[in-house]
Structure 1
Amino acid sequence: MIATLIILALSAVFFAMGKVRSDLVALCALVALLLTGTLTPQEAISGFSNQVVIMMVGLFVVGGAIVQTGLAKKASGKLMMLAGDNEIGLFLLLMVVTAVIGAFVSNTGTVALMMPIVVSLAQKAKIRASRLLMPLAFASSMGGMLTLIGTPPNLVIQEALTESGHQPLGFFSFLPVGLVCIVVGIVVLLPLSKRFLNGRQRGDDDGKARRRKTLDDLLEEYSLKDDLSVFTVTDASLVKDKSIVELDVQRRYGLSVLEVRRVKKTHAKLMKEVEQRLAGPDTRLMVGDIVYVSGNKQQAEQMAADMQLNKTSQPLAFYDIGIAEAVLMHNSRLCGKTLRDGGLRRLYSVNVLGVRRGDDYITRNLADLKLRQGDILLIQGKWKNISRIANLAEGILVMGQPLEEAARVTLDYKAPLAAAIMVAMILTMVFDFIPVAPVTAVITAGLLMVLTGCIRSVEAAYKTINWESIVLIAAMLPMSVALEKTGASALVARMLADGLGQASPYALLAGVYFTTSLLTLFISNTATAVLMSPIALTSAMAIGVSPYPMLFAVTLGASMCFASPFSTPPNALVMQAGGYTFMDYIKVGLPLQIIMGLVMVFVLPLLFPF
């Protein structure tokens, strides 16, 4: 027992100092418990197979798909319309929406689904996401107190009541308690988050993200939007079933065909595929194709009239085809050659849309332009082909990271499908009559997001997972096994509860709440509730008072744990994204946890009399 408590204390010190990565501290604690013989190897690795950890992995992928398909932006836009750009309005709306979702979905799932929306919301409102992410995690826990299924400790006390022969709680018996939690949370968090939550998020350093040229910036810089015309091929069009070379638009009209986009829809309207093709000589046009043409607008209108094409307004998108700038170095074989003779199209399957030479931008008659050292080419092609140039073409320096740029492109045509998968996952987790375990629902949803293309690739799915948070939770979960196995948690709980029970019901209630709250800092909230429920029940019966307020104190103390990043999965989920340290949770979470306890000591007897 002594060794376990020493390891726990040292871990807490290193977490608080913040000098060593939190996942490394957790792993060191795990190894120490193994070396001292406190845990068996099977017990030590049990956290990595825990359902909560597996769910977190799947939910990161689902959250990544929500961002990739633009659902996060759309949802944040709706919230912005409701709250305006007022930070207090956004804060209040976020707390209420998250709490309501948390009443029916696991708090881990709620945070994973809301986190990309909140980050997008913060960017639009031009405030730090760190001001909102920790309140998001806390609000999900508060929302769990609104219903019976909101959080596992609620089910634990329900089982304790039922087994002891007392009247079971109803689905909304928790609602008054949950509403008080939300009100207290809002009142306390509003000033604390403004005062203490100003951490830097990843990507803030030196404003690099703000200085990076976006794809739209490149289109504007080369005036390609001004020269762009878009047409649709119809049954009446004279170009259907003809190839680009047969149309001869360059010679006849002085125009360039940039891209042909083809939309494929299945009988299930959600399954829509968009195929983008570079306009090569052999590209054959079909009815429904969208043709993107660059050049003089009047000439483009003349071409459309001659070929009976319908004008449309589809903007350029970069799902499969992207653009990037490439600099010609002194050793490039293209120097001194024309683009026609350079063979970029033949060798790498890319087009050149424009050339920047000093302060001049050249976008017309490019085929016969003789290239020079220092020229910057705006190239267009499949993302993988642009990446090939970056890796293989000697003397051509591609600016930026094409594959990383591709990962940032929003696959908005997949948004309805991603929304359907997410809603199905939530419904499966909410309704008990659906015979699918929550962890199965989450894994299935994550897999479907990848298989249906809502997230660009398996590699992109892996990159959405915050492995530091996963390792932190998985490595700390066995600590609860060690504390229970050595009897440390039971000893502390009984000493505190038994001692205060001799004073008054209010003192016992406070003791139960704060003992549970203290234990939840170090072991999982579910394990704490299981441990404390029989103690609270027995103590209440021993002094002749109702067990209901005591058991509610257990579930509140287990669920309202905010002073540590590893006490609940939601706290860990937002730690890296918000750039928080262990001390940030102490500064904001500990006062909230104490105030919540003090309020509940007086509110619970009013709702559930002794």
Structure 2
Amino acid sequence: FATEKLRADLMAVMVAAALALTGLVTVEQAFAGFGSPAVVTVSGIFVMSAGLMRTGGSDHLTRLLRRLGGRGERRLIAATVLLVGLLSSIMNNIGAAIIMMPAVLAAGRDAKVPAGRLLIPLAFGSLLGGLTTAVGTPPNLLVNAALTARGYAPFGLFDFTPTGLAVLGAGAVFLAVLGPRLLPAREPSSGAGGEGAGIGQNHALSTEVLVAPPQPGARRVRQITAELGLTVLAVLRPVDDGLREMAAARGETPAAADAGGAPAARALLVEGPRDSLLRAAAARQVHLLAELKHPPDPGGNGRDIRLAEATLAPRSTLAGKTLRETDFYHRYGLTVIGIRRHGETIRQPLARVRLRFGDTLLLRGPRDRIRRLGPDPDFLLLEPVENPAPDYSRAGRAAAIFGGAIGLAAAGVLHVSLAAALGAVAMVVGGCLRIEEAHRAIDWRTIIAIGGMLPLGTALETTGAATLLAEWLARLGADAGPGAGAAAVLPAGLPAARPLAACALIGAMTIALTQILTNAAAAILMAPIALNLAEALAISPYPVMMIVAIAASTAFATPVGHQSNMLVYNAGAYRFTDFVKVGLPLTLLILAVSLALVPLIWPF
């Protein structure tokens, strides 16, 4: 998980298979997770969320952000955290972040607030908002599943709300007050708004170019690149005849040898300021190799060519493939002239790069082709475009279906998994989205990862590992907290110190795991340990399990801790250290608020 050498869903299936092969669980137990109520609930929430998006239900929140955010930086940060948190309470975290990102970027431009000051709050708000309801995030559902499996009543739909609202409010205040000091004032590099007129700074671009020297000798090639401020990363190859023919067909001669025997153009991998490269290409001082192979406007007049940045979405079918394998140009009609990953430009030939979730592609092509990427589930455009209008005529129906499913679950009329499943079916039958859209709405990687990891929790129980870890934590809690005599003189109404110290330890362990695993995996691993810890200390399991649920969603200290973090990592041009600077103190704050509040609501 931590190295990302293998995908989380593949690792989860391997874990389930390994547990069955070693006899730690039966075959039935190894694959029971895929049919668990938690998996059904998460799938249903994905589909119902898509129904709300398809019918324009989220548009009200984006308009509200513009009104509440105003033009003040701190006010806009707070509004971003609270509104995405509200949306995340009823739908999956990453979906809420994706819906709100274009509105946040637009509001930031209106208020002249850099995107770097807003996108980390957007990601963190989506995580905190998921803590306000039982269906807001997978760890809440998995904690409930563990309670049910042990014979305890699960948390109700709104049992998470008091602590969830408290940590959401604390996070909003922290980010609004300290965010402008801790967050970088950076911008994404370009947008769909026009050639060379992007939505942010002039980032470095690494791409392949052809340089045709006007006189013999490689020295002149070096002079040209130096004058343009370009760094030559590699000399790739001479230009072949096919490229000469393509260039000649466009009235260009980048590879022609003159009568004096001048050498053919050099194909170079270069890096330099994006705007300088594009100006040089427009002046034909250099030729973008990608555009010689794949003209951005074949047969057109070139007047409607635009730049755009698009990030690979969490469920993108392009992840793990190269541009050549996806036949990107013929599939989308756009030319990829650069790729950024984790805030850094990729310095290798683009056709060989295996794309990953979160990669940002710099695209060039006709406006209408760029516009078509708007509703494409494989991409998230970093600049608002004129997408097909939502079907507002069914917005009320979608809201009624979602509200009805949540209401039936909250009232205890239906189990939350059954309510979610029926709600998903109703969205399709009611015409709020097509069955194909429902299939695409489900994040199958998340579903497989949860289903494959659930047997690990079973193995921890059946092998006694959870009991051993719980006893160790109980002993640590006893050492950390005061003795029985000190606990006896604590003021009335305050929680005993030993259980509180043990909760702090299990919360810290869960937080450490969720930075490198998925939040679902962290909850699956720690839930059985937390239950055994409660039994070892002879206390109620509910405060301990609430701490686990909150801690599993406190994935703030690294960009790899959650998909929402990865989504904004490239889009905000962040560095790894930006997450550490903001996320670590926020993590400590959330843990402190949780430890102070949870025992008051859920006594030991």
Aligned to 2:32: 46
> What CA distance in whole angstroms lies between the structure 2 residues aligned with 1:583 and 1:31?
37
> What CA distance in whole angstroms lies between the structure 2 residues aligned with 1:198 and 1:469?
31
Equivalent residue for 1:539, pick from 525, 537, 540: 537
Deviations 1:74-93 (A, max 9, x none): 42012211222444323323
Alpha-carbon distance, 1:488 to partner: 1.9
Distance 1:374 1:582, change over 3 A: closer
Equivalent residue for 2:416, pick from 435, 438, 453: 438
Query: Are the aligned partners of 1:98 and 1:139 in contact in 2 as well (CA < 8 Å)?
Result: no
Instruction: Output the amino acid matched with 1:475.
Output: G
Deviations 1:376-434 (A, max 9, x none): 699xxxxxxxxxxx99xxxxx99965994694675546224134323422332234447
Aligned to 1:496: 473
> What CA distance in whole angstroms lies between the structure 2 residues aligned with 1:583 and 1:26?
29
Instruction: Output the amino acid matched with 2:473.
Output: L
TM-score for both structures, normalised by structure 2: 0.51
Aligned to 1:60: 46
Deviations 1:478-524 (A, max 9, x none): 33223223322221111211443364432431213322552574756
Aligned to 1:558: 549
The 5-angstrom pairing of residues 124-135 of structure 1 reads: 124-126=106-108, 127=115, 130-135=119-124
**Corresponding position: 1:185 with 2:171:** yes
Distance 1:153 1:485, change over 3 A: same
Instruction: Output the amino acid matched with 1:73.
Output: D
Equivalent residue for 1:138, pick from 127, 131, 136: 127
The 5-angstrom pairing of residues 219-258 of structure 1 reads: none
Instruction: Output the amino acid matched with 1:508.
Output: P
Aligned to 1:111: 93
Alpha-carbon distance, 1:120 to partner: 3.2
Query: Are the aligned partners of 2:457 and 2:525 in contact in 1 as well (CA < 8 Å)?
Result: yes
Alpha-carbon distance, 1:163 to partner: 7.7
State the superposition RMSD in angstroms: 5.4
**Corresponding position: 1:82 with 2:63:** no
Deviations 1:501-557 (A, max 9, x none): 3644324312133225525747564784565346425525xxxxxx56x84244123
> What CA distance in whole angstroms lies between the structure 1 residues aligned with 2:7 and 2:392?
36
Distance 1:141 1:489, change over 3 A: farther
Instruction: Output the amino acid matched with 2:505.
Output: F
Distance 1:57 1:403, change over 3 A: farther
Alpha-carbon distance, 1:119 to partner: 2.0
Instruction: Output the amino acid matched with 2:548.
Output: G
Query: Are the aligned partners of 1:500 and 1:511 in contact in 2 as well (CA < 8 Å)?
Result: yes
Select between 485-494 and 137-146 the one with higher mean Cα deviation: 137-146
Aligned to 1:574: 564
Equivalent residue for 1:596, pick from 578, 584, 590: 590
Instruction: Output the amino acid matched with 2:93.
Output: V
> What CA distance in whole angstroms lies between the structure 1 residues aligned with 2:126 and 2:132?
10
Q: Partner of 1:63: helix, strand, or coil?
A: helix
> What CA distance in whole angstroms lies between the structure 2 residues aligned with 1:21 and 1:374?
41
Query: Are the aligned partners of 2:371 and 2:387 in contact in 1 as well (CA < 8 Å)?
Result: no
> What CA distance in whole angstroms lies between the structure 2 residues aligned with 1:143 and 1:512?
20
Query: Are the aligned partners of 1:33 and 1:39 in contact in 2 as well (CA < 8 Å)?
Result: yes
Distance 1:417 1:174, change over 3 A: closer
Deviations 1:289-314 (A, max 9, x none): xxxxxxxxxxxxxxxxxxxxxxxxxx
> What CA distance in whole angstroms lies between the structure 1 residues aligned with 2:195 and 2:426?
32
> What CA distance in whole angstroms lies between the structure 1 residues aligned with 2:156 and 2:12?
39
Q: Which runs of 5+ in 2 are unaligned?
A: 109-114, 197-248, 250-297, 304-329, 332-364, 377-385, 484-495
TM-score for both structures, normalised by structure 1: 0.51
Distance 1:588 1:481, change over 3 A: farther
> What CA distance in whole angstroms lies between the structure 1 residues aligned with 2:598 and 2:436?
50
Alpha-carbon distance, 1:118 to partner: 1.6
Q: Which runs of 5+ in 1 are unaligned?
A: 1-10, 214-329, 331-372, 379-389, 392-396, 541-546
The number of aligned residues is 403
Distance 1:426 1:506, change over 3 A: same
Select between 151-160 and 44-53 the one with higher mean Cα deviation: 151-160
Distance 1:82 1:170, change over 3 A: same
Instruction: Output the amino acid matched with 1:574.
Output: S
Deviations 1:431-455 (A, max 9, x none): 4447444334434444444455544
Distance 1:473 1:582, change over 3 A: farther
> What CA distance in whole angstroms lies between the structure 2 residues aligned with 1:198 and 1:474?
38
Computing the radius of gyration from Cα coordinates, the structure with the larger value is: 1
